[in-house]
Chain A
Amino acid sequence: MTLALQYVANGLAAGSLYALVALGIVLLYRSSRVLNFAHGDLATLGVFLAFTGITRGWRYGLCLAAGLLGAAAVSAGFYRLLIKPARQATSLSLVITTLGFALLLSGLMVWVWGTDTKVFPFPLSETRVHRLGGVVVSELTAGSLAVGLFLVSGLSVLVQKTRLGLAMRAVAQNPEAAQLLGVPAGRVLAATWAVAGVLGAAAGMLLAPAVLLDPFMMLDPFLKGFAAAVLGGMDSLPGAVVGGLLLGVAESAFAGYVSVKYKATLSFVVIVAVLLARPEGLLGRPFHRRV
């Protein structure tokens, strides 16, 4: 029993990071109908920006904020300069654009920072642990879960309660109708991309202390986040959170009870299974093919 709880605790911590990544993916898919394959690399770029500041000895909090803002700016700029001008592009060519941008970013990071792994200094440690009942929780685990939940609720407040959030929902549902109400759809979408960039970079910063920082750090978490998004339903923000947490727990239980070696495969199995059994995801809306 304690063991099971242990797996759940570890799974939730990993899952909250997947949820952050998935939220970024779903946010963009819902509003601009683009699957952003550059999401992971954008996040890594944010972490590297923060890392550079920290190694120069600048104020720690300031560096993290700068990293988040940097990722936001690059994400919004990517939308403004490459995605938005491609007005008549098919969704496939947009996906390829994001793939190209991902390669560009990772190439840039290899060029500037090199491929060797770096230790990302972080105030919470993975080795200092607390015991709750029989469950061992490291500071980092507890921290990522807390920060993850904080960001998720922050996003939900932004989307549900603010003017910008209302405009974001309107533009996602029907950009043309939103423009006819004077809502500047382009600027609202750029803001959405910026928010997605912040979520990704935050996930990257929580992940970096655990896995060491290198230009390809987010490759695996991005795929997990993508699987979580598919699991929850590509159209649903709550779905992304539920999908992320579920995938995290399932993965940790799978590693514990079945096989650590094939842990990474699980997310792909999930994608295939969801697409076969319930293509709209757990909380998504069913598709209807119009003939």
Chain B
Amino acid sequence: MTAEVLSVLNVEAGYRKGLAVLRGVSLHVREGQVAALLGSNGAGKTTLLRTVMGLIPDQPEKGEVVFRGVRLNGKDPDAVTRLGVVLVPEGRGLFPELTVEENLQLAGYARRYTGREYEAVLDRFPVLRERRWQQAGTLSGGEQQMLALARALLLRPSLLLLDEPSLGLAPRVVAQIFDILKSLNREGLSILRVEQNARMALTVAHYGYVLEAGRLVLEGPAERLRDDPNVQELYLGVQREPSPKGFRRWRPKRRWA
């Protein structure tokens, strides 16, 4: 068993008092592994990532978030980032009016990166080198996602949190980004990814969690989740059990263990 990079322990969080979005979620990301967090719309995946980063003021309401033995509760997002937990948020969080170069420079505000680090990151994303002086808002969706990843890498993360990195991208671009993630992980980076698309999420992951209405309903190694009949039916679109007349169930049965 390797050590945990991130532990989320019994976290309850929400945006308004008395309206909990997460109701006692516990999950772990192990050193050097990729964990995938699945769930449908509104399950609380993004809220979980935002709670870890400290983006929701005065949350989590209950429970603890621990990164390598350091308690993250109540820390400002910039402090969490400087500790080495880097989030690429939903919508990528780019500055559309700044140039690609300026977007990258911002990652060096808290801790300057060296020329070698900068070159290494641009070598990974050659297209950004060509587009250096262009406004970030003029990049294509895939290029924007690459810029967001490049910026995150310049922060030298120990743990990368990704909120739907494949959202709205062409399949070929998605494959490209997944290859990058795979090679980053091989180099030792721990990753927690949030996905709606379970098939994609489980192809590049060691361990998976299924979140539903603010509770974890299923967890296990990625292969086991892929073969799990419930996950197959609900998230992978594998059809089983046709009704006597041959119709598909409108609302699939959930059989959580």
Contacts and interface: CB of A to CB of B under 8 A. Distances in A.
Interface stretch (A8-16, A75-83, A118-126, A165-173): A165-173
Contacts of A166: 98, 102, 105-106, 109
A177 B94 contact: yes
B93 A180 contact: yes
Interface in A134-191: 163, 166-167, 169-170, 173-174, 176-186
A177 B155 contact: no
Interface stretch (B74-82, B115-123, B138-146, B197-205): B74-82
Contacts of B97: 173
Nearest to B53: A180
| Interface residues on chain A, size class | 20 to 34
| Candidate in A87, A167, A179, A182 with the most chain B CB atoms within 10 angstroms | A182
Interface string A224-266: 0000000000000000000000000000000000000000000
Nearest to B86: A180
Given A87-B57, A170-B95, A173-B97, A179 B76 contact: yes
B218 to A, nearest CB: 29
B246 to A, nearest CB: 44
B110 A183 contact: yes
Given A87-B57, A169-B98, A173-B97, A180 B105 contact: no
A239 B257 CA distance: 63
Nearest to A187: B78
A179 B106 contact: no
Given A166-B105, A173-B97, A180 B87 contact: yes
Nearest to A178: B106
B109 A180 contact: no
Given A174-B95, A177-B95, A180-B53, A167 B109 contact: yes
Contacts of A183: 78, 106, 109-110
Contact of B106 (A167, A176, A184): A167
B132 to A, nearest CB: 15
B229 interface: no
A181 B55 contact: no
B111 interface: yes
| Candidate in B81, B98, B106 with the most chain A CB atoms within 10 angstroms | B106
B86 to A, nearest CB: 7
A173 B79 CA distance: 20
Contacts of A170: 95, 98, 106
B111 A182 contact: yes
B76 A186 contact: yes
Nearest to A182: B110
B11 to A, nearest CB: 19
Given A180-B86, A184-B78, A173 B95 contact: yes
A179 B77 contact: yes
A166 B108 CA distance: 11
A27 to B, nearest CB: 17
Given A163-B105, A170-B98, A177-B94, 10 more contacts: A163-B109, A174-B93, A174-B95, A179-B55, A179-B78, A180-B81, A180-B89, A180-B93, A182-B109, A183-B109
16 contacts: A163-B109, A169-B95, A169-B98, A174-B93, A176-B89, A177-B95, A178-B78, A178-B106, A179-B55, A180-B53, A180-B87, A181-B81, A181-B151, A181-B155, A182-B110, A183-B109
- Nearest 7 A/B pairs, CB to CB: A177-B93, A182-B110, A179-B77, A182-B81, A179-B78, A183-B109, A182-B82
